[in-house]
Structure 1
C-alpha cells in the first residue's frame, strides 16, 4: 500500500531523530574513549611504564662466598668447597613426583633429602618457580647423567654451589664450630634480618667462632636482574652486581699442636688450654671428647645426634670455656699472693700441720692424714698442705682473696669469640648476701682457701692465671690473629702492679712442686736444661666425705663410680726462667691431679716448647721407653683422626 506524502515525511523525521541520537551517543562514547586513552597513554604513561617494568624485571640475591678460617701458620680450618647439587623448579616440572621418580632411575637419591625437599615445596607452594634442592654433594658422574638426560627431566637443573667443610674434623670442632641452614628460630632472634638469610639453603654460623663472627665471615650479598614472564619463570639475566666475600680470619691456634693435644686427651672427659705468655695467643684450646662438625653442615641425622647427646662425657660441650670446676689446690697461689701483698706473712713463717684444723667447732682436714708438720710457704706449695692455707685464709679474709682472684683472671668472663664463655666465680661476702641472702661464714673462707666451696674456674681462666703468675702482666687471651691480613691487638697486657719479690716466691714454690723430690708433680718433671717447668697439682672434690668414712678410711677414687670421683687439675708454665707457654689441664673425675692431669700437661707443654715431637731426653730416664711408645701411638691416632677413610681401607 502506497503511503501518502504526509506519512512519508513523518517517518523520515522520526528516522532522522533516531539516527541523530544514535550518532550522538556513538560520538560521545568515542570521545570519552579517546579522552580515557589520552589520559592513560599520556598523563599516566610513566606510572604504567614503571608498573610494567616491575612486573617484567625481578631482582635476585647472589649468596656471598663465606670467609675462610686459617690457623696461625696458614693451615686451612674452615673452607668453601665446590659442591654439585640438583635442583627442581616445581612450576617447570609439571608432575613433580614423576620427575623425581625418573631422576631416581638415573642416580641414587637420599630419602632424607627428598623428604626435606618435599617439605620445602609445601612451604613454598605460593612460589612454585623457586628452585628446591633434591640432592647435594653429587659427584661428576651423576651430574653428567642428569645433563645428558635433561630433555626428559623437565624442571631439573644441575648447579654448582659452595659447601662449608672442616678438614681438621674433630680437633677444632669446639673452637671453629660449624654452620647450618637458617632456622625460624635464628630469624626470630634478629630484629631486622638481611634478605639473604631468607633464601633457601642459606647457611649461617651456629656455634663457636663461626657463630660469634657470623657477620664478618658472611660478607654481603650481590644482586642480579632477571627478566621473567607472567608466570614468574626466569627468561634471561639482564645485569649482575657481585657481592662482597666475607673476611678471611686467621686464628692464633696452632693446628698441629691442637691435633696433638686432642689426641693426648684421648678418651678422657677432659680439657686443656695452652696460652702464649708473651702475647696471650691461645695456641691450643681442646675439649674432649669431640665430634665431627661436618656432620652438622647439611643437617645431622637423628641417630648421630642421639649418640652425641647421650654420651656421659658430653662431647658437644666446650669444657675449656663453658665448664667451671672447683680449682682445688691450683688456687693456693692466689691465696698466697693475697697474703703476701697484704704483708700478713713472711716467706719463712711456718704453720704447724697435724692433719686437721678446728674452726668454729668443725674439723677441716688436710689431704695428708698424718699432717705435714711445720710448713713454710715454699713447702706448702711443694707438698700442697691444706692446713697452711686454712690458716692463711683466716688471716687474709675472703674479700681480699676474691679481689686477688679477679686480678688473676678468675671470676671474670673473658671476651673471646667462642660459645658459652663462663665467668666462673670468685665469691665474697657481698655475693653470698646478694645471691643466697645469707651471711658469709668462716667455714666458707676455709673452703675457698683450697679452691673448694663456692669457688669455680674454667680451664681457660686457670691458664690465664698461670700466665699472669709467670709474667706479672695482665695477659689477656687472644684468639684472632688477623682479619684479612690485618694484625689484631696483642694480649700481652700491662704490669699487674704486684710486688715482684712476692711473685718470685710463689713461682719458686711452683718450681719445687715439679722439680724437688717431695714435690707432688716430681714424677712428671721436665729434665731438659732450659726447659724446666713450674706447676701445681690440684684435686677438687665432687662429693662430701663423712666423718664415718674418714674413720673407716676414705674410699679411693678407683673404687667409686666414675661420676663420683674427684676432678684432676694441673697448671704450669715453662721455661721457668723465661716463661713462653702456660698450660692448664682438667680431667673430669680423673682422681688425683698428679696422676691424671700432670702427665698430660707436661707432654703438652713439651710439644709446644719444641714445636713438635720433643726429644726423649726431655723426659726422666725411667719414662723414656713408655713415652716413645706413646709418641708412636699418638702419631697414628692423629693420622687416623684426619684421614678416617684410610683406616677403613
Structure 2
C-alpha cells in the first residue's frame, strides 16, 4: 500500500526523536565515563599509585634510639650499642622453612633460635619483619648479604640494643629492658604500632619501666623497593623517628661502685641521701645481678641461680623490703614523748633488765640492766626498758603520728619497682587488718621498733635526714629529663621544737662519740666529719623463756637465716649535716658490729669524695682499714675496666 505524505512526515518525526534520545543517551554515558576517568586519574591518582607501588615497595618501621641514663656527673649508666641481626618477612619469603634452612647453612643457628623465630613468624603479621638471628658478627652479616638473591625475604640489618656498662652496680635502680610481652600490650587500649615489632625492647623494671614513655621515643619508617622474590633492591625514602629523652639521675656512680665493693657478698642495702635537697647519692642492694643477661635473653640455668639464691639478688632491698627497725626507731618514740610534753630530758627510768607489763616480762638487751637512764643515756647505750616505760606514757597513736611525720609508713615517690610503704601500725590498723583490738604489749614492742613496725632502708634514711634538719626532706632520684631539672625535695619545716631536735641530735652524737656509746668503735676521728648515729638490732625469731634462762644463743652460733638483722643510721657532719646514711645487713647480727662499720666507711667516702685519709679513723683500726682500702681500690679498678670494656 502506498504511503501518504502525511505518513512519511510522521515516520520522520518519530525517527528524529529516537535518534535524539539515543544520541543524548550516548552523550550522557560518554560524559559520565569521562567524569569517572577524570576522578580516577586525577582525584584518586595517589591512592592508585600507592596500590601499584605496594606490589614493589615495602614500608618498614624504624625503631627509635632509646634515651640514655646518666649519673649526676654525666657518667653513662644505660647506653645503646649497635648490633647486627638478620630479619625475615614472611610474605616476601614464600617457603619460610626452606629459607631458614638455607640461612642455617651460612650462619650458626641453634634449634631454640629457629623454633623461637618460627613461632614469632606464625604469630606476627605477614608483612612484619621478624628477627631470626641477633647479635651476629660482621663476617656472618657479610655472608648473608652476599647470598641475598638466594634468600628471599631475608634482610641483614644494623640495630641498637640496650647496654649497661656497669653490670650489676645499678641493676636494682635502672632496671632492664626486654622484648614486648602480651602483658606489656595489655596495658594499652590501642597499643602503639612500635610495640608490634617483634623483639622490640621495652622497660621491664626500675627506671626503665617507670619512664618507658619518656625513654622510648617515636618510630620512623623507610620505603624499600623489592623485586618479585621479596629481595630489597634499594631504599627509596627514609623518615627518621624521634629518639627517646635522655635522663640524669642524682646518684654518684663512683660512690655507688664503692658501696657495692664495700658490701661484698653480704645480703645488705645502703642508702645515702643529701639532707639539704633530698638527692639520693647512693641506693644499693647486695648481692645484685647483671641486667645485660636479661636484655640478651637470660638462660634458664642463670635465672634459676638468681631465683634460688637465699641472699635474693633480684630484690631491690632498699625500697622493696621492709624490716623491723629495732633500736633505730627509738628516736621516733623519744620525739613523740618530747613533742607531747610527757618527758623531760633529765628525767630518769630505772632499768633492772626487764619491765613487767600486763603480766608479761619485756626484757632489755642487757640482761643485768642499765640502772638509772635519762633520754640521752638511753639512746647512747640503747636501753630498751627506758622506751618500754616511755611507751606506756605516750601511747601508740602519738608514736605512729610521729613516725609518719618523720617519713615512716609512707611509700616515697621514687621511680623504682615495688616501693613499699612499710608499716606504721596503730589501733585502727590492727582492728581493720587483724580483726583484733590493740593491746598494751603491742605498744611496748613498737616502742623499740619490733612487733608490727616495718621500715625500708629508704624510709630510715628519710627519717634520719628529717631528724638532722627538722624539715620534711623527701627523696629525689631523677635530677633532670632532657636537661629540664626536676624540683629539689628539701621540704618545709616539720614544726618540731628545735630544742627537742637538738636533744635527739646530741644523743645520736653520743652514740658514736661517747665511750659508752654503742657505735663508739665505728666513730669518725676527723673533727670536721664526725657523725651522729644510732645502732639497731632486730630479731627474726622468738626467744623462749627456756632459752633466756640458760642464756640466749649467740648469733654466730645460729644458722645464717635465723640471725638478727643489723641496722645503723647516721647523719654527718654533726655540726653542719650534709648526708644521711642508712645501712641494713640481713642476718648480720648486732648493728654495732655489722652495720655501723659499713656506714662509717660509706660516710667518709661520700664526704671526702675519694678514699679518705687514714687519720680519719681510730688509730687502732688504721692497719686493717689500710688493707681494706687497698683491696677495695683493686676491686674498683677492676670494675672500671669492665665498664670500659662493655662500653
Question: Does the pair score TM above 0.5?
Answer: yes
Q: How does 1:514-533 map to 2 (within 5 A)?
A: 514-533=512-531
More divergent stretch after superposition (170-179 vs 484-493) = 484-493
Q: Which string of whole-angstrom CA distances, capped at 9 and with x for unpartnered residues, describes residues 183-209 of structure 1?
A: 011111222321111112211100000
Q: Quick one: structure 1 residues 431 and 129, their matched pair in 2 at CA, closer, same or farther if it must change by over 3 Å?
A: closer
Q: Name the SS of the counterpart of 1:571 in structure 2.
A: strand
- Aligned 8 A contact 2:461 2:580 in 1: yes
| Aligned position for 1:55 | 51
- Aligned 8 A contact 2:567 2:583 in 1: yes
- Aligned 8 A contact 1:57 1:228 in 2: no
Of residues 238, 241, 253, the one that matches 2:239 is 241
Q: Quick one: structure 1 residues 159 and 227, their matched pair in 2 at CA, closer, same or farther if it must change by over 3 Å?
A: closer
| Aligned position for 1:41 | 37
Q: Name the SS of the counterpart of 2:117 in structure 1.
A: helix
> Structure 2 unaligned runs (5+)?
1-22
Q: Distance in 2 between matches of 1:56 and 1:512?
A: 84
- Aligned 8 A contact 1:222 1:244 in 2: yes
- Aligned 8 A contact 2:153 2:229 in 1: no
Q: Name the SS of the counterpart of 1:443 in structure 2.
A: helix
Q: Quick one: structure 1 residues 110 and 541, their matched pair in 2 at CA, closer, same or farther if it must change by over 3 Å?
A: same
> Structure 1 unaligned runs (5+)?
1-26
| Aligned position for 1:20 | none
Q: Name the SS of the counterpart of 2:320 in structure 1.
A: coil
Q: Which string of whole-angstrom CA distances, capped at 9 and with x for unpartnered residues, describes residues 137-176 of structure 1?
A: 2222322333333344443321111111000110100000
| Aligned position for 2:83 | 83
Q: Which string of whole-angstrom CA distances, capped at 9 and with x for unpartnered residues, describes residues 280-321 of structure 1?
A: 100000011100000111321111111111111111110000
Q: Distance in 2 between matches of 1:112 and 1:45?
A: 52
Q: Distance in 2 between matches of 1:148 and 1:639?
A: 43
1:68 aligns with 2:68: yes
Q: Name the SS of the counterpart of 1:410 in structure 2.
A: coil
| CA positional deviation for 1:440 | 1.1
Q: Distance in 2 between matches of 1:570 and 1:604?
A: 12
Q: Quick one: structure 1 residues 372 and 98, their matched pair in 2 at CA, closer, same or farther if it must change by over 3 Å?
A: same
Q: How does 1:429-444 map to 2 (within 5 A)?
A: 429-444=427-442
The root-mean-square deviation of aligned C-alpha atoms, in Å, is 2.6
Q: Distance in 2 between matches of 1:116 and 1:346?
A: 71
Q: Name the SS of the counterpart of 1:135 in structure 2.
A: strand
1:255 aligns with 2:253: yes
- Aligned 8 A contact 1:86 1:136 in 2: yes
- Aligned 8 A contact 1:56 1:227 in 2: no
Q: Distance in 2 between matches of 1:142 and 1:636?
A: 38
| CA positional deviation for 1:105 | 3.7
| Aligned position for 1:283 | 281
- Aligned 8 A contact 1:129 1:232 in 2: no
1:636 aligns with 2:630: no
Total equivalences in the alignment: 620
Q: Distance in 1 between matches of 2:113 and 2:471?
A: 54
- Aligned 8 A contact 1:110 1:135 in 2: no
1:222 aligns with 2:220: yes
When the two structures are superposed, what TM-score results if normalisation uses the length of structure 1?
0.90
More divergent stretch after superposition (237-246 vs 362-371) = 237-246
Q: Name the SS of the counterpart of 2:599 in structure 1.
A: helix
| Aligned position for 1:605 | 603
- Aligned 8 A contact 1:129 1:233 in 2: no
Q: Distance in 2 between matches of 1:53 and 1:95?
A: 29
| Aligned position for 2:14 | none
Of residues 423, 426, 429, the one that matches 1:425 is 423
- Aligned 8 A contact 2:166 2:642 in 1: no
Q: Which string of whole-angstrom CA distances, capped at 9 and with x for unpartnered residues, describes residues 215-234 of structure 1?
A: 11111222445667899887
Q: Which string of whole-angstrom CA distances, capped at 9 and with x for unpartnered residues, describes residues 361-419 of structure 1?
A: 11100000000000011100010000000011111111111110011100011111111
Q: How does 1:14-33 map to 2 (within 5 A)?
A: none
Of residues 135, 138, 144, the one that matches 1:137 is 135
| CA positional deviation for 1:131 | 2.2
| CA positional deviation for 1:34 | 6.9
Q: Distance in 1 between matches of 2:72 and 2:313?
A: 25
When the two structures are superposed, what TM-score results if normalisation uses the length of structure 2?
0.91
| CA positional deviation for 1:621 | 1.1
- Aligned 8 A contact 1:260 1:638 in 2: yes
| Aligned position for 1:507 | 505
1:115 aligns with 2:115: yes
Q: Quick one: structure 1 residues 223 and 158, their matched pair in 2 at CA, closer, same or farther if it must change by over 3 Å?
A: closer
Q: Distance in 2 between matches of 1:426 and 1:47?
A: 70
Q: Distance in 1 between matches of 2:231 and 2:185?
A: 28
More divergent stretch after superposition (432-441 vs 207-216) = 432-441
Q: Quick one: structure 1 residues 139 and 226, their matched pair in 2 at CA, closer, same or farther if it must change by over 3 Å?
A: closer
1:106 aligns with 2:106: yes
